[in-house]
Amino acid sequence: MIDERYSRQVLFAPVGPEGQRRIRASQVTLLGCGALGSTLANTLVRAGVGRLTIIDSDRLELSNLQRQTLFDEAQAAAGAFKAEAARERLAQINREVEVTARTERAGRDNLARLVGRPDLVLDATDNFATRYLLNDLCVRDGLAWIYGGCAAAYGVCMPVLPHETPCLRCLFPEPPPPEHAPTANTVGILAPIAHAVASLQAAEALKLLSGNRRAVRPVLYTLDLWDSNLGTVRLAGPEPDCPCCGAGRYDFLEGRR
Ligand SMILES: [Zn+2]
């Protein structure tokens, strides 16, 4: 029996009742609950995922409200943990979804335990150190994940299906130096780019979770909203000489980097 709540999503033929049942049975881990994360959490909880784990150790600040749509002034004034403030709000949106908030800081030693064994991991972090750890973990454990990043008015999104599509190190074998990896804290950010990137990630997530894995293509989406530029770079398969998914070396996760 499909809830009236999801009727328009179910009416979309590639989802249908079977896709909705799969979405409902799915478990998702969200790493980060800032601009990308709050939009992703909002969208996936409304879509009816079964379980959502939100990992974020930050507390809310007033400067978050410009783009982090789940939160309000009272939560910012109280300095609430983002993960917990999100869980409270999400319970008002869809109480059928089991949301778990984890407020530990994710690092090499605890990432595997925090992420668990979900059907999908969503990258809503704001730094490459954590992303390269996440790429290692997901390739090692065969977990699908979706890379998302944004700053200023530009952003990127790329789904990673380990050993099926290129991983992060296939594209960028080394993380960029910090001076070439601007963040919202260094160059600012416009809310629409965060929402656009998170929406692309959410669309890829719904393909996977509804059982439409073949609709997930090996692509890198690039967006620059200020230059009115939207691009899709079609990627070949995984790089045979990738240190991670090719050679099976998890340099970041194992502390060699
Ligand atoms: Zn790779």
Q: Which domains does the chain have, with CATH numbers?
A: 4-234 (3.40.50.720)
Q: Give the pLDDT of residue 176.
A: 92
Contact 52, 41 (CB under 8 A): yes
55 three-state secondary structure: strand
The side-by-side arrangement of strands in the sheet containing 51-55 is 98-102, 51-55, 27-31, 120-123, 145-151, 154-160, 219-224, 229-234
How much distance in Å is there from the Cα of 19 to the middle of ligand 1?
29
The DSSP line for 109-161 is TTHHHHH-S-SEEEE--S-HHHHHHHHHHHHHHT--EEEEEEEBTEEEEEEE-
How much distance in Å is there from the Cα of 139 to the middle of ligand 1?
8
Query: Is pTM beyond 0.85 here?
Result: yes
Looking at every residue in the chain, the average pLDDT score rounds to 97
Q: Which is higher by pLDDT, 65 or 178?
A: 65
Spatial distance between the Cα atoms of 244 and 251, rounded to a whole number of angstroms: 8
- Over residues 231-253, the pLDDT tens digits come to 999 999 999 999 999 999 999 99
Number of Cβ within 10 Å of residue 78's Cβ equals 11
- Over residues 146-162, the pLDDT tens digits come to 999 999 999 999 999 99
- Over residues 80-131, the pLDDT tens digits come to 999 999 999 999 999 999 999 999 999 999 999 999 999 999 999 999 999 9
Q: Where are the beta strands (DSSP E) in the chain?
A: 27-31, 51-55, 98-102, 120-123, 145-151, 154-160, 219-224, 229-234
How much distance in Å is there from the Cα of 88 to the middle of ligand 1?
37
How much distance in Å is there from the Cα of 125 to the middle of ligand 1?
20
How much distance in Å is there from the Cα of 127 to the middle of ligand 1?
19
For residue 178, is pLDDT > 90?
no
Please provide residue 68's backbone torsions phi and psi, each rounded to the nearest 5 degrees. Answer: -100, 95
Q: Give the pLDDT of residue 75.
A: 96
User: What letter represents residue 183's amino acid?
Assistant: T
> Quick one: what percent of the chain has pLDDT higher than 90?
95
How much distance in Å is there from the Cα of 217 to the middle of ligand 1?
16
Long-range contacts of residues 57-66, Cβ cutoff 8 Å, at least 24 apart: 57/81, 57/83, 57/103, 57/104, 57/105, 57/106, 58/33, 58/34, 58/82, 60/85, 64/34, 64/35, 66/191
Reported as a pLDDT band with limits 50, 70 and 90, residue 2 is low
How much distance in Å is there from the Cα of 28 to the middle of ligand 1?
22
- Over residues 186-233, the pLDDT tens digits come to 999 999 999 999 999 999 999 999 999 999 999 999 999 999 999 999
Closest CA to 127 of 116, 135, 117, 118: 135
How much distance in Å is there from the Cα of 249 to the middle of ligand 1?
10
Spatial distance between the Cα atoms of 129 and 183, rounded to a whole number of angstroms: 13
For residue 1, is pLDDT > 70?
no
Report the C-alpha dihedral over residues 104, 157, 144, 120, rounded to 10 degrees.
50
